[in-house]
Amino acid sequence: MTQSLILSPHRYPSFLGEDISNTSLEGARFVILPVPYEKTTSYKKGTEEGPRAFLKASSQLELWDEELKKETWKAGICTLAPFSSEETAETFFPKLQARVKELTAYRDKKLLIIGGEHSLTQATVPPYAELYPQLSVLHFDAHADLREEYEGTPYNHACALYPASKLCPVVQVGIRSVASEELHRVNSGRVKTFFYHENPKSEKLIPKVLQSLTRDVYISIDLDGFDPAVIPGVGTPQPGGFSWEDSLKLFRAVIQKKNVVAIDLMELCPLKDTEISEFTAAKLAYRLMGYLSAGQATHKKFLARNHFKGPRKKSPK
């Protein structure tokens, strides 16, 4: 990885500010990859601006985490240059997939991918599925996203999780909008779906989710999984959904009990006159990093179990 892929401060803000997340990729425990890609949003436009708003809002976060009582940033955070293009999905998605694959070579780091529309998950899950044969995906969303194709393309955000469901188990939470044409994929094959109205409280949901997930977990977060009172700035909002506190209980439990290998955070669609959505998304990302670094003992055990001594010798370009 060359330094040219590290963020140029003149183009995009860094997570938490320039003086905090300008760590080199080699020295970072957390790597943020902004992907301001939007082609198929079907309702409200604006997810292309999501990563920039997310990074800008992060400068307003306190560095000391009041729940975890520590300064997570000290573990090292690197904000990469935004990865975007005017290309079509057919050419862009393979490039994004190749970039994520390069980054998976650094197994001691946790990648957070910030979208952009949720279809990006189609490109970001496969490198992890290849690396971790026992991977499953925790899919936090209001929508099932299991259509094979929508509005003439399989790269639509409404199809975000369909390819992953063919690669590995997918465990869906927060679901409260399903199309009749995707209904046959809900709770079928490798998909386990927990409807929100049947599972509104984390205490009862958590054991069921942990049982459904495998050892290695990729977390894909569509921010519309939250109640719109928590995050109103999303492309396709739905009433109901997780509270801030309940979602954190769920994510904390999964990160403590599983080997979470990467996280994506999608569909942030900044609104005019309020920064609550991007600020909450940034706080969520920082809190998740905190949970991940608290779970470092488990991570070290995982690395030892897999006889992994550090980044592979051959650096990606």
- Please report, as ranges, the residues that interact with Mn ion according to CB under 5 A: 141-143, 222, 224
Based on its alpha-carbon atoms, the radius of gyration of the chain, rounded to whole angstroms, reads 18
Least spacing, CB of residue 222 vs Mn ion, in Å: 4
Least spacing, CB of residue 144 vs Mn ion, in Å: 9
What single-letter amino acid sits at 286? Y
Least spacing, CB of residue 166 vs Mn ion, in Å: 19
Query: Is 224 or 278 the residue whose CB approaches Mn ion more closely?
Result: 224
How remote is the C-alpha of 65 from its chain's centroid?
20
Tell me if 206 sits within 8 A of 255, measured CB to CB: no
Least spacing, CB of residue 81 vs Mn ion, in Å: 27
Sign of the dihedral defined by the CA atoms of residues 222, 227, 228, 230, in that order: negative
**How far is the C-alpha of 264 from the C-alpha of 75, rounded, in Å?**
19
Given the structure tokens 């197994």, which residue do they identify?
Answer: 107
**How far is the C-alpha of 99 from the C-alpha of 4, rounded, in Å?**
14
Least spacing, CB of residue 178 vs Mn ion, in Å: 11
**How far is the C-alpha of 25 from the C-alpha of 14, rounded, in Å?**
13
Query: Is 83 or 226 the residue whose CB approaches Mn ion more closely?
Result: 226
Cis (ω within 30 of 0) for the bond into 50?
A: no
Query: Is 142 or 230 the residue whose CB approaches Mn ion more closely?
Result: 142
Query: Is 55 or 142 the residue whose CB approaches Mn ion more closely?
Result: 142
Least spacing, CB of residue 141 vs Mn ion, in Å: 4
Query: Is 58 or 238 the residue whose CB approaches Mn ion more closely?
Result: 238
Query: Is 157 or 258 the residue whose CB approaches Mn ion more closely?
Result: 157
Least spacing, CB of residue 230 vs Mn ion, in Å: 14
Query: Is 224 or 227 the residue whose CB approaches Mn ion more closely?
Result: 224
**How far is the C-alpha of 7 from the C-alpha of 21, rounded, in Å?**
10
Q: What are phi and psi of 256, to 5 degrees?
A: -70, -35
User: Cα angle vertex 28, ends 25, 33, to 5°?
Assistant: 60
Spatial neighbors of 119 by CB under 8 A, at least 6 apart, are: 39, 40, 89, 155, 156, 157, 159, 160
